[in-house]
Structure 1
Amino acid sequence: MSAATLSRREFLRACLLSLGSLAFSPLSAVFQETGFGKLGRIATRELDLYSQPRDDSPIVGKRYRDQIVHIYEEVISPKGPAHNPLWYRVWGGYLHSARVQKVRLQLNDPLSQVPEYGQLCEVTVPYTVAYEYKNGWKKWDSYPLYYETIHWVTDVVEGPDRQPWYQISSELTDYLVYYVPAIHLRPIPDEEYAPLSPDIPAHKKLVEVEIRTQTLRAYEDGQEVFSCRVSTGIPHLNPTRQGIPTETPKGEFRIFSKMPNKHMGSVTGNPDAEERGGFSLPGVPWTCFFVDTGVAFHGTYWHNNFGVWMSHGCVNMRNEDAKWLFRWTTPVYELPIKSRRDWERRGFGTRVIVK
């Protein structure tokens, strides 16, 4: 089976023959109803469904976390909100895009083996449910692994459905290991995240974040080469349990640590933990840390609301934007990887100004 988007018939056949109900049952029923097209995943506990693309129109229903919706049309509403006027027309009404993650479904050829030091992989389905093996197979007590999250695969095993599953190892701790169907993850070739503009001297690169406009800009020798909208930390939110303010700090910094994936928050948790102020986010993609309290640039899969404060202090970015920044900044993420110690690269890196 090639790593390509499947027809509806091929997908249903793959579910029956390759996945089984254990690994993919939450999605198979949804796709039988919706077919293919533009898809979105609800990325919050519940989301209001409106009769029109405006938040003063009647609420006609709700959609709930991890439901998959078919996006029939993307609408820019003159009624806003101003920072993000994008709405999605779905079955029964309209959803504002802020908490809808656009997703695809791509199944992949499993690798027969992976290097001892790991293979970087990306989730290419709306979500996949991870399992652990402790006196038998059982669901991992945390979030599912979501579309475009990044993970280190360290082994290929026979899963509970007798199909190839990948063993994923967390960079947080050696004992945290879990498993997902191999066809749900795409191996990322080295050239896809190799350094950009390596010929530009490091001291001529600058990243600037303007909190007022929620904008990030990158400069080479004073010339702007990249810009995007971001979401910085929410001011005046209660500090974290460690007493760290949630507002993104202003000042001049240096990127000092880069990791293509990072498990943020607690080691384990569940989606409802965020209602109590906690979170567990495995596989956060393309992280560049620039403040030693844990503030980083990184990709985001739990909201689509860039241009307004959203975070606990980090600079949230669209995944493709975070990937560009990861590749462009220093310290250089040197490839190929030769050991697990190489999962993180540290050094005196690109200058960052937050103002």
Structure 2
Amino acid sequence: MKKIMFYINTIHKGGAERVMINLADYFSRQGYKTILVTSFRDTGEYTVPNAVKRITLEEHEIKQSKLKRNITRIKKLRKFCKDEKPDILVSFMVEPNFRAILATWGLPVKNLISVRNDPNKEYAGRVGHIVGKYLLPFADGCVFQTKEAKNWFPKRLQKKSRIIYNSVKEDFYHVERHPVPGEIVTCGRLEEQKNHALLIAAFSKVVERYPEARLKIYGEGSLCGKLQKQIDALGLHEKAFLMGATNHVEKVLETADVFVLSSDFEGMPNALMEAMAAGVPCISTDCPCGGPRELFGDELKMQLIPTDEDALAAKMAETIQLPVTGKMLLGSKMKDRAAQFTPAVVNQSWREYVECLS
């Protein structure tokens, strides 16, 4: 029986965090001794499966300088690696990735890192460039989500890497659709990256032609107040709604007529993948690092638009006015594309790669 250790900063609500929890659960069910390490405990955490051992470097987040914080956590992570003796350490995100490499240096522990977002953003600046171009290639392996992200890194890392998509829960493939005409939905944190301001501005143009249209934005974040002011200023308070967070996205997708992703950049957007799996007609910005473009493929590339208000408004209006049969066909094509990221397909890819490395 092999032992696998996963490491991420926190497991509060988020796409990468959910993926890691699901992977830890999968490997534990496959007979691996499985450990999940976080940097600290946080509020709103995902539930850790009973079969997965939970370890945290800090019970509560310790406030230190960035340099001291990283040194402290690297030392603690290295100690846990020595004590637990995993065969492989899997890490997600920027800081956990370079900590994992340094913590396992000289130990008989393989390290498998994963880049979860646009490297132009995650590894920006001089220090980020050094980490991405010179330190990360020392990893034993790396999982990327898109070809564009993979191509950012040196050939040395690319040669020992794999591209593996996120998986989508089976529940989303079995959503019973009862779409409400004109109901436009999006899900995502209310932060700059998601560019909900663009979506709201574009929607204001859509309702001029289709007064029955409604926009529902699910998620929480620091821009809630600012986005509500934008909605009010555009006179959309009865047509556009900030719905808050939801733990039942599959229910949201039952009535969605159209799903829109308006992000400035993404890794592999879970919300878009879930909507595709449910068979919802989707629209997305063609944002770096190429996730939506890979998800849609050539067959659905007409649903990609530039990060532009007029282009988004035109595509939303075009999709809304499709006849019912046209929307059903588009949704069916979305679901067909989603077959490549079922849990069975994705989990098997991870297991094959982990066993190849360890």
Higher strand share: 1
**Higher normalized helix content (fraction of residues):** 2
Q: Same fold (TM over 0.5)?
A: no
The alignment's TM-score, normalised by the length of structure 2, stands at 0.25
